[in-house]
Chains A and B, each alone.
Chain A
Amino acid sequence: MSGRLSFYRFSSPAAFYPLAGTIGKVSALIAVVLLAIGLYMSFFVAPTDYKQGEGYRIIFIHVPSAWMSMFIYLVMAFWAGIGLVFNTRLSSMMAQALAPTGAIMTFIALWTGAFWGKPMWGAWWVWDARLTSELILFFLYIGFIALQGSIDDTRRADRAGAVLLLVGVVNIPIIYFSVKWWNTLHQGATVSVTEGSSMSTIMLQAMLIMTFAFWAYSVAVAMYRVRSIILEREKDTRWVSELPEVRR
């Protein structure tokens, strides 16, 4: 019996609150360390690209943020699904906590994509299939945040947000496929999308380290935000009022 109990132990906000604190601190530390290493490698260790010169270094934040934007949406959909099925309020809080970070990662991917596209493809915005799907993913994030924001009753907000996320996650492959189909058939755009020169191992390592750094950063921010959400939602419970950080 105790085995099953411990599985659900961390679904209660009171038990999860301190755990989120430690995970947050640890991943924040990892993020800072990995970011330092990653940045050093991407500027000083990675060689100059024979075709794109120094400009390609934007890849070291463009690709990790793009991966993170998609990964965070999937994690949000996972937690939303768990929250809907098991009715654990904490999972929905987790999905809500991840949303702003996911939206920021998508925005970073779009911003760095445009800043990289300008010198390489000659235009700030190119209706390339990946960029367009990233833009649509950004709209999905904003839709979720707007829906959560405009429903006052937190219980309904969680469940409505969960349905929207699950519908969204089913649509992501369809959207990506249709945008790819739309882009290839409208090949009128003379821009040839450079697949990026074949990655030398050092470049790949730098990019992977940056990806883990972004991942640790997202975990840290999500953990701290979920603690704030717990405080906001459980503000009139006894365990919150007895928290050390609440000044009497």
Chain B
Amino acid sequence: MFSAFRIIVARDLLLAMRRRSDVLTTLFFFVIVVSLFPLGIGPELNTLRLIAPGVFWVAALLASMLALEKLFFVDYQDGSLEQMLLAPQPLSILVLGKVLAHWLVTGLPLVLLSPLLGLQYDLSTATITVMMFTLLIGTPALSLIGAIGAALTLGIRGGGVLVSLLVLPLYIPVLIFGAGAVEAEASGLGGSGHLSMLGAILLLSALAAPLATAAALRISAE
């Protein structure tokens, strides 16, 4: 079963590397959105430092949601999704593999890039490390939950906007605890409570989300 998991992850990474532009678009979307806010709110460093956690997290949330489109659509079109549905291995393992590959391509780069952008917001190194840590835990949860929405709206006209409508309410706990952890750390309150909740949500979505996504895939690919 885990060999299938590894194969799926390797295959998806290979496919992603071949079409590098998809990878970069999500990344640049994140960078642009984060850089837009100072232009809108003004260069005053104190306010920037204050809004940084929220801005980073909302930008990460939107970037991960935009990247959902490509999660199943390519396989759905060329029929390899049907093969996965027929595979002897449990579908949720294959889905987990696809989501992991998708996260490695779209979520992880955000985490690695956030320190660079943190400098734009004059964040202290401590805050930046906490930010990276929360993004490291949070973005996989976002991809897992988002995968349910992507599977539900597979092949529907206007699916892109619909995914955001379905998935954003479910992203809210991740956003609250993610941004909250950074803010709590920055204000000295200590974000350990937030971080443990974020970890709990990650575990819950790692276990439950693939099952729901598998069910949604079977329904969509009928």
- The answer on A and B forming one complex is yes
Q: Mark A58-76, 1 if CB is under 8 A from B, else 0.
A: 0000000000000000000
B153, B176, B219: which contacts A181 (Cβ < 8 A)? B176
What does DSSP make chain B's interface, helix, strand, loop or mixed?
Answer: helix
A142, A147, A155, A182: which contacts B152 (Cβ < 8 A)? A147
Chain A min CB distance to B218 (Å): 9
Contact A156 B170 (CB under 8 A): no
Contact A163 B173 (CB under 8 A): no
Distance, CA A74 to CA B26, complexed state (A): 36
Chain B min CB distance to A81 (Å): 12
Contact B176 A167 (CB under 8 A): no
Q: Which residues of A contact B165 (CB under 8 A)?
A: 139, 142-143, 146-147
Chain B min CB distance to A150 (Å): 5
Chain B min CB distance to A155 (Å): 8
Chain B min CB distance to A139 (Å): 4
Contact B216 A178 (CB under 8 A): no
Q: Which residues of A contact B158 (CB under 8 A)?
A: 150
User: Interface size class for chain A?
Assistant: 20 to 34
In the complex, whether B81 has a CB less than 8 A from a CB of chain A is no
Q: Mark B103-141, 1 if CB is under 8 A from A, else 0.
A: 000000000000000000000000000000000000000
Total chain B interface residues with beta-carbon distance under 8 A:
30
Contact A164 B152 (CB under 8 A): yes
Q: Which residues of A contact B197 (CB under 8 A)?
A: 178, 181
In the complex, whether B18 has a CB less than 8 A from a CB of chain A is no
In the complex, whether A159 has a CB less than 8 A from a CB of chain B is yes
Closest B residue by C-beta to A136:
B169
Which residues of A pack against B, CB within 8 Å?
136, 139-140, 142-143, 146-147, 150-151, 155-156, 159-160, 163-164, 166-168, 170-171, 174-175, 177-179, 181-182, 185
With A150-B153, A164-B152, A178-B173 already in contact, 13 other A-B pairs whose C-beta atoms are closer than 8 Å: A136-B169, A136-B172, A147-B153, A147-B162, A147-B165, A150-B157, A166-B212, A167-B212, A174-B173, A178-B176, A178-B197, A181-B176, A185-B189
- Provide a sorted-by-A list of 28 A–B residue pairs whose CB atoms are within 8 angstroms: A136-B172, A139-B169, A143-B169, A146-B165, A147-B153, A150-B156, A150-B158, A150-B159, A151-B156, A156-B222, A160-B152, A160-B219, A163-B212, A163-B216, A163-B219, A166-B212, A167-B170, A167-B212, A168-B169, A170-B208, A174-B204, A177-B173, A178-B173, A179-B176, A181-B180, A182-B176, A182-B180, A185-B180
